[in-house]
A and B are shown apart, each in its own frame.
Chain A
């Protein structure tokens, strides 16, 4: 703005000067021309009149001096009536006035004379004087006109050409202001160097990034300022090439370097350099970005990629492990049928069954970790989930868990595996906050917002689970970050525990928060919507086996699973048949229907490597027989298809591994639908 004001000041003064000159030049020029004209006129008149008077003198050279009246009449006659006032006189060589025709003349007066001759000898002079006063009046008028011209010219000069210049400068200034504003507010450092590599521009971001103010950086060579000593030589070589041709390895970019701050610390930067030719010399414009955070993110992404790979591996292991557990659990269930319930063998089989079920929880955790996924919600009691999670998580720990449940605790529609994972994470964190041991207070209550209270959930009523520890608490500055992925304060933490918990609770339509004060421990609160449904009978009667009858087709790629499933079906009174994949299942189903011995139900594995899985097969099967009863089974217990099995055409769902009781109840429920509809 200062330069615009300076130029505006100069241009205005210049316009004023030119206008003033014009204002003065017009009357002055008029006066000069008029003066010259009058001078020429008077000289001419003096000469012509003197010629006539000289003739009179020549006619009477001895006595012409007495002809005063005649001469005066002559002089008077020479003056035309329309001329301005003038005086004419004849003076001898002694300056004695011999004759005059004078009028009162106002000053200033211009006088011109011419000699009067008698036979070549000067005997007197004829003088003619004329007042310039009338011309001064005219000059004054011309002055007014000149002022008018001056004013107009000032206006024209100021408004148009100089105005245009002014506008151009304003645009330039605006452009500069924009550049300065952009450069000043840019997050990246912007640096300009002259052909000698000396810094000529250094924006605010550069000051923040490197710790040098502009006054400290200006005039210094960039590499001596920000490059570690090991890069100095290569930098100088590259810059020499740039000065010569405006080219070099650093032009374009971006290139990554390690830079040095004023405080001596190193940090990674990314440099994009461009060449600008100014006044025939190459100037370098460098845009430098501090990529410390990006590097961290890249590392985290790398870590995530590793985790994802691990997740895929874990998912595959869990699937296979579930299949194995299915066989084990099925065999235990069948063994239990053949064993006296009062015998020690039976109790051992029960313990084995519990261990398999616990192992199933582990595989579910692995699957949740591997894929996340939509929760497979079932109306469940949180009391059992929380209790099991506490005992499982604190097994072998010096931390005790004190549980507290509302007597009338409402059930909740939850994925037991995922909620178990949440509780496992919270309890594990609480335990790790108390390395010297202690107790964790876990409570679960029915809750509803009171008047004026903030409501954590849209849905009411809800259940509130609180996990309180007696640790050192969470620093205030970390409270807003603890649910961020990869945020951790533990040396070996992944930063995924609480993030996964947050994700799981959110997918359940719930909310998780934390209260903590340093030195007073931390309390995590999990809010989950309460279910208005009663606890399902299956769960309450999970130990009941239901026998049935009918032909059941089992489709699974694992032979062991087919075998145990077949044995379990036979033990329940069903007639099993087997298929390895979807195509075979469809063919068998079609053939059975064709010979008049159709299947009453089909149990399909969701995933068949290299073949048609349950998801596709059920569609084709329903196309053949819309009344077909199909149950989906999968080791990927967190697969979204299981969560939404009805929308895919299945009448039932069973997660591997399953007990004989769960298997029979699921099958019975599916077949009951057949009978009701039939």
Chain B
């Protein structure tokens, strides 16, 4: 009896230890926190993702910090200040050499938008080029078009310029004009597009959906910018989302990346305007 009782007590202590230590670790924070940051258009979806992740892995706390941009997020990861970065661009060779690794976890249509309530629902690429070039300054109802730009090095500007050589020249022309509206962050961009009367600009469908923005995605050359059209290849312009980890990222970050590819994660992504690549699982 005494032996049994000692064995039982010992087993109890170990079990208790197994149960209590993680709780203590959670209570202590620090090492179990996953700090996530990066491109702003991905952050709103990550809030939902974090809730799903923390339910599955309650020992981790996911901290989403405000928009740092893709580059800022990658820098943060390489510096060890972030555990996971969300990037709208792939890694550069230099970043890779520094130990960063990227995993594409979703795509989303890169779209032209206007504020909801606008009479405009569609635009052609030629029109878009004219708007950026400054040749077209009014909507058909003669209300002024107020173009919202992104900094030239921003991923959105890069994607715009990649649409066509004419668009590339038009974007450069727009950025060289004085008095243009230039949004620094994705959130600021979305804010301007919502608030500025007659605003026209580019954004990602994922941001609009995840942040529930009062913006109207415009059909481009007759194609509505839906995930279906993107999946079908009918809508050719999209934005990648990469999950970036670095040599100092913690284990929780890798678990979080795995969660992005999980069924639960894919569901969240799909709900927030993301198209998960087939091979992402």
Contact = CB atoms under 8 A, between A and B. Distances in A.
B109 interface: no
Contact of B65 (A62, A74, A80): A62
Contact of A60 (B66, B70, B175, B176): B66
Contacts of B79: 66
Contacts, number: 70
B69 A63 contact: no
Contact of B152 (A64, A68, A76): A76
Contact of A67 (B69, B82, B176, B178): B69
B211 to A, nearest CB: 15
Interface in A56-72: 56, 59-60, 62-64, 66-70, 72
A81 interface: yes
A66 B81 CA distance: 9
Contacts of B154: 70, 73
Given A63-B37, A77-B175, A81-B176, A69 B72 contact: yes
A246 to B, nearest CB: 84
B184 interface: yes
Interface string B173-199: 001111000101100000000000000
A66 B37 CA distance: 10
Q: Which of A56, A63, A64 has the most CB of B within 10 A?
A: A63
Contacts of B178: 80-82
Nearest to B38: A66
Contacts of B153: 69, 72-73, 76
A62 B64 CA distance: 12
Contacts of A60: 65-68
Interface in A21-78: 56, 59-60, 62-64, 66-70, 72-74, 76-77
B31 to A, nearest CB: 18
Which residue, B70, B153, B175, B177, has most C-beta atoms of chain A within 10 A? Answer: B153
Given A76-B152, A77-B151, A59 B66 contact: yes
B72 A70 contact: yes
Interface string B1-16: 0000000000000000
Interface string B78-100: 01011000000000000000000
A74 B151 contact: yes
Contacts of B76: 63, 66
Contacts of A66: 37, 68, 71-73, 75-76, 79, 81-82
> Counting chain B CB atoms within 10 Å of each CB, which of A62, A66, A76, A81 scores highest?
A66
Contacts of B182: 77
Contacts of B81: 62-63, 66
A76 B73 CA distance: 20
A77 B175 CA distance: 8
B72 A73 contact: no
Contact of B184 (A62, A70, A82): A70
Contacts of A81: 176-178
A70 B182 CA distance: 12
Given A76-B152, A77-B152, A63 B184 contact: no
- Mostly, the A contact residues are helix
Contacts of A74: 151, 184
Nearest to A83: B178
Contacts of B151: 70, 73-74, 76-77
B36 to A, nearest CB: 11
A298 B239 CA distance: 137
A244 to B, nearest CB: 87
A68 B65 contact: no
Contacts of A59: 66-67, 185
Nearest to A52: B184
B267 to A, nearest CB: 29
A82 B177 CA distance: 9
Interface in A201-259: none
B184 A56 contact: yes
A478 to B, nearest CB: 115
B152 A63 contact: no
A63 B71 contact: no
Interface in A556-591: none
A74 B76 CA distance: 19
B85 to A, nearest CB: 9
A77 to B, nearest CB: 5
A447 B270 CA distance: 166
Contacts of A64: 68
Nearest to B187: A59
A210 to B, nearest CB: 95
B202 to A, nearest CB: 15
Contact of B72 (A67, A77, A80, A82): A67
Nearest to B175: A77
A116 to B, nearest CB: 15
Contact of A63 (B72, B176, B177): B72
A73 B71 CA distance: 11
B69 A70 contact: yes
Nearest to A74: B184
B78 to A, nearest CB: 9
Given A68-B72, A77-B175, A63 B185 contact: no
Nearest to B79: A66
A62 B76 CA distance: 11
Interface in B37-83: 37, 65-73, 75-76, 79, 81-82
A414 B71 CA distance: 150
Contacts of A82: 178
Interface in A175-205: none
Contact of B68 (A67, A72, A77): A67
Contacts of B71: 66-70
Contacts of B37: 63, 66
Contacts of A77: 151-152, 175, 182
Contacts of B152: 73, 76-77
B117 to A, nearest CB: 28
A68 B151 CA distance: 13
B178 to A, nearest CB: 5
Interface string A67-104: 11110111011001110000000000000000000000
B190 to A, nearest CB: 14
Given A63-B81, A74-B151, A76-B152, A68 B176 contact: no
A63 B65 contact: yes
A60 B81 CA distance: 13
A321 to B, nearest CB: 138
A63 B175 contact: no
Contacts of B72: 63, 66-70
Interface in A431-468: none
A590 B252 CA distance: 186
Nearest to B180: A77
Interface string B120-158: 000000000000000000000000000000011110000
Nearest to A56: B184
Nearest to B176: A81
A76 B175 CA distance: 10
Contacts of B67: 59-60
Contacts of B66: 59-60, 63
A62 B35 CA distance: 12
A64 B79 CA distance: 13
Nearest to A61: B66
Contacts of A73: 151-154, 184
A80 B180 CA distance: 11
22 contacts: A56-B184, A62-B65, A63-B68, A63-B76, A63-B81, A66-B73, A66-B75, A66-B79, A66-B81, A66-B82, A68-B72, A69-B69, A69-B72, A70-B68, A70-B69, A70-B151, A70-B184, A73-B151, A73-B153, A76-B151, A81-B176, A81-B178
Given A67-B69, A77-B182, 7 more contacts: A59-B66, A62-B81, A66-B37, A66-B68, A69-B153, A70-B69, A81-B177
Interface of B: 37, 65-73, 75-76, 79, 81-82, 151-154, 175-178, 182, 184-185
Which 5 residue pairs spanning A and B have beta carbons closest together? Answer: A73-B151, A69-B71, A67-B72, A66-B72, A66-B75
